[in-house]
Amino acid sequence: MNELNVLLDDNEFIVLDKPAGLPTANAARGVESLYAKLRLRVDAAAFIGVVSRLDQPVSGVVIFAKTRSAAACLAEQFRERQVTKEYIAVVEKRFPGPLGKWTIWQDAIGWDETARRATLKLGDDGYPQTGQRKTAGSNVTSAVTRARVNNRLGEVSLVELQPQTGRRHQLRAQLAAHGCPIVGDRLYGSRLPFFNEGGNAIALHSSRLSFKHPLTGKQCTVSATIPGAWKKRFPQLVWE
């Protein structure tokens, strides 16, 4: 499809590689989105369901359903945490953990509608508090992520992330609260710039998504390669 990087096209769903700077869906009037670009390239009567989303400055794997039954099945998999989501990020400062070793963050996270950003509840020591299930009258809930640093170079590190929950801005807020904001993410305290052609990108990429086929039940794994702009921006990091 013209101007769309298709990773997998199936009768039940389509998986795309979203470029940074492009909203997934529900963009403001006059602003293009990945959903709108896909909508223009299918029959007007065709069903397209938004199953997963990435923030506008984030790149990588996004899945859309082609049938209502597939949309319901895939949405349930996301809701029941049956989908494996893998990300990579380049972060500032020092990641709080040894090289190559997984650590698990379980933080209390909320959403500030006025500031349009996620917030983590911090303890008296300044570190994030352990998250709990959402209680009545509160928007604070649990955000769980597995994380490890794979490479360090000067003031930046290459980090691998596996979110177990799907909170809004979860990875961006957790990395910042744990002392290593994503490069280019000014909203969460980044000092270093990170640019793409559109000027609206952060160094966070959805690299792999694993889920069950909504019709056959077969395991599907779809990967999106690291954007070329990353290697130009950080040529000395070790890239797989």
Closest to 49 (Cα-Cα) out of 31, 20, 74, 23: 74
* Co-location of 43 and 71 in the same domain: yes
* Co-location of 45 and 78 in the same domain: yes
| Domain annotation covers residue 88 | no
Whichever domain contains 48, its CATH number is 3.30.2350.10
The confidence score (pLDDT) of residue 137 equals: 43
Angle at 45 between CA 44 and CA 49, to 5 degrees: 95
| Domain annotation covers residue 189 | no
Work out the average pLDDT over 187-203: 81
* Co-location of 132 and 172 in the same domain: yes
* Co-location of 175 and 222 in the same domain: no
- Looking at every residue in the chain, the average pLDDT score rounds to 88
Structural domain harbouring 154: 94-180
pLDDT (tens digit per residue) in 3-38:
899 999 999 999 999 999 999 998 777 778 999 999
Do residues 147 and 156 touch, judged by C-beta distance below 8 A?
no
In percent, how much of the chain has pLDDT > 70? 89
* Co-location of 101 and 77 in the same domain: no
pLDDT > 70? residue 211: yes
Work out the average pLDDT over 162-185: 95
Closest to 144 (Cα-Cα) out of 113, 114, 104: 104
pLDDT > 80? residue 123: no
| Domain annotation covers residue 162 | yes
Three-state DSSP state, 233 = helix
Do residues 57 and 200 touch, judged by C-beta distance below 8 A?
yes
Domain count, the chain: 2
| Domain annotation covers residue 201 | no
pLDDT > 70? residue 122: no
Report DSSP state, residue 236: T
* Co-location of 11 and 31 in the same domain: yes
| Domain annotation covers residue 73 | yes
Q: What are phi and psi of 209, to 5 degrees?
A: -135, 130
Give the separation between CA 157 and CA 160, rounded to whole angstroms.
10
pLDDT tier, 138 (very low <50, low <70, confident <90, very high otherwise): low
The confidence score (pLDDT) of residue 2 equals: 52
* Co-location of 98 and 73 in the same domain: no
* Co-location of 57 and 99 in the same domain: no
The confidence score (pLDDT) of residue 121 equals: 75
Tokens of 143: 């955000």
Instruction: Name, of 209-213, 230-234, 235-239, the range with top average pLDDT.
Output: 209-213
Lowest mean pLDDT among 52-66, 76-90, 114-128, 140-154: 114-128
The confidence score (pLDDT) of residue 135 equals: 47
Work out the average pLDDT over 50-65: 96
* Co-location of 149 and 170 in the same domain: yes
Which is more confidently placed, 154 or 5? 5
Which is more confidently placed, 175 or 229? 175
Which is more confidently placed, 52 or 26? 52
> How many CA atoms lie within 13 Å of 127's alpha carbon, on the beta-carbon side?
5
DSSP assignment of 102-168, as one string?
Answer: -EEEEEEEEEETTTTEEEE-B-TTSSBPBP----TT---EEEEEEEEEEEEETTEEEEEEEESS--T
* Helices marked H in the chain: 34-39, 68-79, 170-177, 228-233
| Domain annotation covers residue 154 | yes
Task: Give Cα 91 to chain centroid, integer Å.
Answer: 14
| Domain annotation covers residue 62 | yes
Work out the average pLDDT over 131-139: 51
The confidence score (pLDDT) of residue 131 equals: 53
